[in-house]
Amino acid sequence: MVIRDDGLVAGSVSGGCIEDDLVERVRSKALAAEQPQRVTYGVTARRRSASACPAADIELILEPLGPRSGIGELLARVAAGRQTVRTLDMKSGAVTLADGTGADLLAFDDERLVTAHGRAGGCW
């Protein structure tokens, strides 16, 4: 999901209740504009959030997009058929991109978010 500063949204993460909260956070500048942050919604988070949905916990990594995010290069690599592993440093916001092995990958240890994008050889 992408949310512009003016509240325009592309994509989604739930049936609407989370999106509404995220848009409001962006509009009110409640999100850190420089660093990624982790946000939890759901059953456990109800004590911390006014949201009554979803029925299970969802953890999201919110990340400001800019030159450091490497999104342009990531999109170009995937469009060229190169599976790419993206590592986001949660403290600095720095991103590294590396060629993937073809395996699916999602790992998070509170310090780094590591994700694989695209498929090796460009096959979908």
Residue range 73-87, pLDDT digits in tens:
999 999 999 999 999
Per-residue pLDDT for 30 more than 80?
Answer: no
Give the pLDDT confidence score for residue 115 in this predicted structure: 96
DSSP 8-state symbol, 76: H
Cis peptide leading into residue 54 (ω within 30°): yes
Residue 7 vs residue 94, higher pLDDT? 94
Residue range 10-29, pLDDT digits in tens:
988 887 678 888 888 888 87
Give the pLDDT confidence score for residue 65 in this predicted structure: 84
Residue range 36-58, pLDDT digits in tens:
989 888 765 544 444 445 567 88
Give the pLDDT confidence score for residue 47 in this predicted structure: 43
Q: CA 84, CA 98: separation in Å to the nearest integer?
A: 6
Ranges of each domain in the chain: 2-62, 67-122
